[in-house]
Amino acid sequence: MQAIELWAVTKTYPGTAQPAVASLSLAVSQGALVTLLGPSGSGKTTVLRLIAGFERADAGEILLTDRRVSGPGAWVAPERRGVGMVFQDYALFPHLTVARNVGFGYRGPDQAERIREVLELVALTGYETRYPHELSGGQQQRVALARALARRPVVVLLDEPFSNLDAALRTHMRLELRRILKAAGATALLVSHDQADALAISDRIVVLKGGTIQQVGSPQEIYQRPANRFVATFVGQSNLLAGVVDNEGAAVITDLGVFACRHDHAYRPGERVYACIRPDSLEMVPELPASDDPVQGTILSLTYTGQALDAVVEVRTVDGSQQLLVRLPSAADVREGQVVALRVAPEAVALVGGG
């Protein structure tokens, strides 16, 4: 069963020209952890607010576990939708203890027992009598999550759950959040503008831009086979080389040479495309056998990032030059101005729609 379904949902805010969400259709299956990934202003929060019932759609239908909660002639109030929401700023009550904050999410006869259960789930047993200001950012987030889970919601919606956490805590909370949501058996739709968070945590990713879906897929599909230029550059970094699919459909002809690629039935021979090459798929080689037809270039700049050394390499073409980003091991022995040869593994070249 689908836990969340959106059918051609459109929302334009009063006084704005462009719809925030434009005829968007989307399904989240029960128990899945799905991330809406997109830049600021792409409509992510609006989608969550429409599902929760804090905004009304102008058109389309929304179903939660097969129940129509929004659509022509249908409207279910937010508190009756069975949705647990974790807001970007957590929205805890500052004057209530942890236990009472969590209890606010569930008023059933077994409230005390349920508070104990969800606090254990989020690893906050022993924090019952603390106040929000006595907690770290990560702990506050756990309280907000416990409050959302307390009433056993049909779906949990989380808006930018990592945006208020520093880098080290963020990496830890990704794993924790996934563990907690899976342990609770929850269906979760979370929103992020950060591709690293989305790739790390999600079963599936929905890439949004301008209120429309660009691609839906597993993290591997989104990264390895981006559907278009936007996805290729927004999710991870890419070198995009304009080219044409060759007659066999198994290579792409570009100004920098002919690159073998994974056969992709989405593109016809002769079609204009981009060859998408990730910076870590380019290998720098000191010498190549003559038959290997290397791409040669000059290192323009080197940036040390800790995990890697990022080189910008300028490669001459027939009528100009093109810069490529190459990710080298951080201990690579290279210098600016050096002439180098580059090699690409065939399975590392993905085709991306061009025109």
228 binding partner (options ligand ADP, Mg ion, none; Cβ < 5 to 8 Å by kind): none
Total Cβ atoms within 10 A of residue 253: 17
Nearer to Mg ion, 58 or 89 (CB): 89
Which residue number is nearest to Mg ion in terms of Cβ? 45
Binding map of Mg ion across residues 208-247, x = CB under 5 A, - = no contact = ----------------------------------------
16 in contact with ligand ADP (CB under 6 A): yes
Binding residues with Mg ion: total (CB under 5 A): 1
Report which residue type is found at 333: D
Contact predicate 86/95, CB 8 Å = no
Site string for Mg ion, 44-63 (x = CB under 5 A): -x------------------
For the chain, what is the radius of gyration of the CA atoms? 24
Residues 30-59 that bind ligand ADP (CB under 6 A): 38, 40-46
Query: What string marks each residue from 244 to 273 as x (binds Mg ion by CB under 5 A) or -?
Result: ------------------------------
Task: Return the number of the residue (20 or 252) whose C-beta is nearest ligand ADP.
Answer: 20
DSSP state of 63: E
Number of residues that bind ligand ADP (CB under 6 A): 11
Say which residue the tokens 């003559």 belong to: 290
Q: Which of ligand ADP, Mg ion, none lies near 53, with the C-beta cut-off 5 to 8 A by kind?
A: none
Does residue 35 bind Mg ion (CB under 5 A)?
A: no
Per CB under 6 A, does 195 bind ligand ADP? no
Segment near ligand ADP (CB under 6 A); pick from 12-20, 136-144, 274-282, 322-330: 12-20
Of ligand ADP, Mg ion, none, which one does residue 238 interact with (CB within 5 to 8 Å by kind)?
Answer: none
What is the residue-wise DSSP string for 276-337? EE-GGGEEEES---GGG--EEEEEEEEEE-SSEEEEEEEEEETTEEEEEEEEEETT----TT
Helix (H, G, I), strand (E, B) or coil at 15: coil
Closest C-alpha to 191, from 57, 45, 6, 85 = 45
* From Mg ion, ligand ADP, none, interface partner of 20 (C-beta below 5 to 8 A by class): ligand ADP
Cα(276)–Cα(232) distance, integer angstroms: 7
In whole angstroms, give the CA distance from residue 47 to residue 37.
Answer: 12
φ/ψ of 201, rounded to 5, equals -105, -25
> Under DSSP, is residue 118 helix (H, G, I), strand (E, B) or coil?
helix
Interface contacts to ligand ADP, rule CB under 6 A: 13, 16, 20, 38, 40-46
Interface contacts to Mg ion, rule CB under 5 A: 45
